[in-house]
Structure formats: C-alpha cells, structure tokens
Structure 1
C-alpha cells in the first residue's frame, strides 16, 4: 500500500507509538484499539496494528484518515477497547474531559496511552492522567512526552467531574453557546469583532462564512445586513459547527457545511464571502498557507464583482495571493495587530 504524503511533520503522533515500537507496551492481540482525536501518519500503518478504530471531528484529519483506508468516524465511538490512544489538546478543560472519556472507553484491564509536546503541556497532561487513572509510565523523544497507565485505578469522582468540562455552555452574558477547545471559545475574538465593525450594511444576496466557528460572524451578518437572502457556513470542526447550529437556531437563511475549505467550495457565484481564516495547525507555528487556500477558495467561489471581506493578523503575507486572484483589493482597517481587507473579484 502506498501511504499518503503528510503535510506536516507530526512529532506527537510519531512519539505516541514510541512505547509500542520499542516494545515497552504491546499492541493488543485481540480487541483492537481506539484512537481519539486521531491523525494520519506512517506510525498508523506499521505491521500488526490490527483492529484500529479512529475518531476525529476535524474534517481535514478525518479525510486524511479516510483516504488512507483507516476505519474512522466523527460520531462518538461507544465500544470499549483494551488500548485507547489519545493526542490531548492544549486547552486543559478539553484535555481533562478527553482523559475522562478515554478511561471510560478502556476495558478494566486496558491501557490509556497519550502523547503531548513538551511546550504544549506534556507535564501537565501526564500529571492529570496520573490523578485520574493511577501510576503512569513515561518516555521522552523529539521534545515530546508519551505516557500511559500501567493499571487503571480510576478516581470515579474525578472522572465524573472531568467528563463534562468541555460541555457546551452559555458565554458573553448568555448571548451565545460555546465550549472549551474551540477557537476563542469563551469570548468574541477581537479580529472577528474588527471585521464585523467594517462590514458594509449593503451586503445582499447569497453569501458564505469560511471557517465559521461557533457562528459569531454569521449572527452579525444577519443582524447587520437585512438584504442577505442566504448564508452558507463552512466549518472544519464538527464540534464548532454543532454550536453554530445552536446559535443560529430558527434562522432559515443559514445552511451548515462540515467542510475543509482548503479543498475548495462546492458552490459557485456567491455574492459575498466573509472569513477569519485559521493560521495554525497542530502546533503554534504560523501556517499562512491555510489562509492562502481560504483566499483561493473564495476567489473561485465568488461571482464576478463578488466581494471577500477578510480579517487576519497584520504580519501574515496574504497580499500576493489577494492581488493575483482578485481584481481590486483595499485595506479597510488596521487595529490591534489585525487588518481587514476587502477584495473584489474581477469581471
């Protein structure tokens, strides 16, 4: 089998399997393994990794796993496994909820195996798993720490407490619903607020929101532009898209798409598009290529004369692709380290 080329070097994924590759921890002979927040890469395709079930709600990662013909689903897996693999996120409440989920999905004599980069909270993650499930073993490599339970000794009180730490909840004085782990989950992102401030009231027709998150931009488009007839929300994280549905409940003009915008949009001839594109992948390093793909997708999907309204960090180098793909561009605002750009597709 020819493995797909991976876009990113993924140390946490590679080191996650280090304990298995070195023989410190065996792969289950029966029962398989569950991989929460799974990401594709060469370690998943080594000989003997039978019975692997992947769970992933982030569309680009889901698609990569599916292209590699791995068993993957976005809905929560309910079966229990003798081995549960986890790549915990940096946000602590979300990570603790994921640990609680992992021990719940593990058989009584099973193992929970996790890995984090040192600068992404590995020491804290190790401590949290030990608090929840008893003593852990540890190996370090590539500035990452892989740690696993040697025998589950679950603190049931702590598991119950942590289980719902990433549950949806009201934010911004009850105006919206969000949850830990999403981008700007507990506040209105200042970049999005700046974009909203400079959206024209004459927006009309069918539009799209690329990287819609939990729905803040979309709610403001509807509130400020009554001539908008439809708005398609594109979001790669299913957990965020579910909350956008909640925050726009009762809005018949909104349509929701679980989608990797970087692969292009299924619809053409939009009258306008708004976007606050992501610029990070798994780590903290800037990934301006993600924003450039958003801009390219927008240019392809707008009608001639259609407008893109984009907000981004001022230092991100988007001008070359904007100039190449649009007829005219202008900066509407610069404040707080951000820039708002209007780009009009040439006729």
Structure 2
C-alpha cells in the first residue's frame, strides 16, 4: 500500500506485488497480514494513521515493523509505536536509519479513512471556502502563505478562462477558491481539474470539490501523464520536498512538459519559494516570464505559451 501514485502505477504492473493506492483497504484485507512494515512519514499525525492501518491489516500476533531515519524523527515515532505495540525492539541500525519491531500489537477490527477527515474554514480576497484535511496533506488546517499570494494575484489579475488545470492541487484549495470567486463575481462557471501524486491530497480535493460544488475532476497522477488535451490555463503551487529532503525534480519535469498541455496563448501561473531556480526554466520551456507578486519568501510567476503563426 502506498500513498504515491507513481509508485502505485509501478507496483500495479509487477506480478510479484499486489499494489493498493492510499488508505482505503478492501474489507477482505482486514487481518490478512503476518507482517506489516510501516515507513516513517514526515508528519506525526500521519504516523498515527499508518499505525492504525497497520493494526487493521495485521493478524493477531502479527509482526509490526517501523523503519525511519533519525532526522525524520524515528525516536518520537517509537514512542507512538510502543503505545499500540507494547514492548518494541530495535532490530537493526545503519546509515542513520533504524528498524524497530513489535509483536504485541492489538488488531483493529474497523478502519475508516473518513474518521480521520477534518474540515478547515478559510478565507482569501473575500472568498470563503471549506477545505478537507487528512494527516500528511500539505498545509493541513491553514492557508499557506504561498497559496494566499497566488490567490491574491488571481483576484487582482483573473485568468479570464473557463477551464483550468491545477497541477499538484493538494486538498483542492485553488479550485474551490476559483469556484467561489466566479460565483461571488457573478461570472460564468469555471471548470477546474486537478492532479496530485499523494493519496490524501486526491481524497481531500475530491471532498473539498464535492462540498463546494466545484465543476472538475481530480486525478491521481505522478506528473502530467494522465492529462489529455490542451488547457487555456495551468496553475500550480508545486511541492519541493520529498519527505524532509528538498526535491525540485517533480517541478522541473512539470515545467519541461507543461507547454505541450497549454493551448497556444495559454497561461501558466505558478507560485514558488523565491530561492528556487524556476524563472529560468519557465523562460526556457514556455516563454517570457512576468513576476506578478514577490516578497522575500515567495514569487508568483506568469508566462504565456506563444501563439502559433
């Protein structure tokens, strides 16, 4: 079971693996495993979620194994682990990574992802919205400053299109806001489709869209492979971390490919930390770049794909 759409696709094509995407196991998987291995996530609350799922999947007396790096917080996670597994033992340690095992875990007979779902009321540029949340989703329980800056530019300089793709959509904040903004302004409805690589984000974005009545579909995807056709606008607040490590490869790949998914004259609008080297990549792959907003932390970039002829 993985929360990463790209890894899920790889596993689904390997006959030696039975891959499952996200935290929604089939009922028949309850109590089916002799050993459950949990890789330590970044967020403490997500560790609790993974441990609960592991208890649901494990047979009585199953071995529950937790693996993580010291800098990821394995010491704190072991305290959580011991609460549900009783006595736990460190079975290996190398290269700043530890492996712990417990065998007195009490199984769970019920596991519902909706029990972990939360809602946050947000407001930006006069638009109120409700956003779904799950442990591990980006900016849980708050509107991050980068997205706020991006939304403010959308209020000041609207896209002027009726169809948008939100890449790395997270919990669906941008799509929900655009829907509310168009309603508040009395504009015609806008369709906002979204993609994200993380299972929690996909689940939350669908819930946020459902509650707000957003017209759009959310896709689980690692990159733009599932995106069909050309878009008059693509918008993004892309991630730059994998776990606790800085990783810009996903956004670099996105910028190299996005022009092929933009209509001629279509707009890319993207917010990123100001220190990240995206301006040159946008100019290289799409065209001249404009900075719509900037402070010491974030920059909102805008670029248009050149029109044919």
Q: TM-score, normalised by structure 1?
A: 0.76
Q: Residue by residue, what CA displacement relative to the aligned partner does 1:132-161 show, whole Å, maximum 9, x if unpaired?
A: 111111021110111001x3153x8xx79x
Aligned equivalent of 1:76: 25
Aligned equivalent of 2:2: 56
Where 1:192 maps in the other structure, the secondary structure is helix
Aligned equivalent of 2:143: 188
Relative to structure 1, is the Cα distance of residues 265 and 320 closer, same or farther in structure 2, using a 3 angstrom cutoff? farther
- Residues 216-235 of structure 1: matches in 2 within 5 Å? 216-225=173-182, 226-227=187-188, 229-235=190-196
Give distance in 1, aligned partners of 2:48 and 2:190.
42
1:214 Cα deviation from its structure 2 partner: 0.8
1:91 Cα deviation from its structure 2 partner: 1.2
Q: Does 1:215 align with 2:215?
A: no
Aligned equivalent of 1:133: 85
Q: 1:107 aligns with which of 56, 59, 66?
A: 59
Aligned equivalent of 1:269: 230
Relative to structure 1, is the Cα distance of residues 215 and 90 closer, same or farther in structure 2, using a 3 angstrom cutoff? same
Structure 1 unaligned spans of 5+: 1-54
Relative to structure 1, is the Cα distance of residues 233 and 164 closer, same or farther in structure 2, using a 3 angstrom cutoff? closer
Q: Does 1:204 align with 2:161?
A: yes
Q: Residue by residue, what CA displacement relative to the aligned partner does 1:94-125 show, whole Å, maximum 9, x if unpaired?
A: 21222122123212222001101101110111
Larger relative contact order (C-alpha < 8 A, sep ≥ 6)?
Answer: 2
Give distance in 1, aligned partners of 2:7 and 2:295.
33
Give distance in 1, aligned partners of 2:119 and 2:47.
20
1:327 Cα deviation from its structure 2 partner: 2.5
Q: Does 1:344 align with 2:304?
A: yes
Aligned equivalent of 2:100: 147
Aligned equivalent of 2:134: 179
Relative to structure 1, is the Cα distance of residues 181 and 321 closer, same or farther in structure 2, using a 3 angstrom cutoff? same
1:310 Cα deviation from its structure 2 partner: 0.1
Give distance in 2, aligned partners of 1:140 and 1:110.
22
Query: In the comparison of the two structures, how many residue pairs are matched?
Result: 287
1:332 Cα deviation from its structure 2 partner: 0.9
Q: 1:124 aligns with which of 56, 71, 76?
A: 76
1:247 Cα deviation from its structure 2 partner: 1.3
Pairwise CA RMSD = 2.5
Give distance in 2, aligned partners of 1:148 and 1:308.
48
1:252 Cα deviation from its structure 2 partner: 5.5
Q: 1:291 aligns with which of 230, 235, 251?
A: 251
Q: Does 1:258 align with 2:220?
A: yes
1:101–1:163 CA contact under 8 A, matched in 2 = no
Where 1:193 maps in the other structure, the secondary structure is helix
Q: 1:65 aligns with which of 11, 15, 18?
A: 11
Where 2:195 maps in the other structure, the secondary structure is strand
Q: TM-score, normalised by structure 2?
A: 0.85
Q: Residue by residue, what CA displacement relative to the aligned partner does 1:253-285 show, whole Å, maximum 9, x if unpaired?
A: 212211122x5453222111110011112x322
Q: Does 1:308 align with 2:255?
A: no
**4+ residue runs over 6 A deviation:** 162-166
Q: Residue by residue, what CA displacement relative to the aligned partner does 1:217-257 show, whole Å, maximum 9, x if unpaired?
A: 11122223434542211122232222212212263621221
1:76 Cα deviation from its structure 2 partner: 1.2
1:306 Cα deviation from its structure 2 partner: 0.3
Aligned equivalent of 1:46: none
Give distance in 1, aligned partners of 2:267 and 2:290.
11
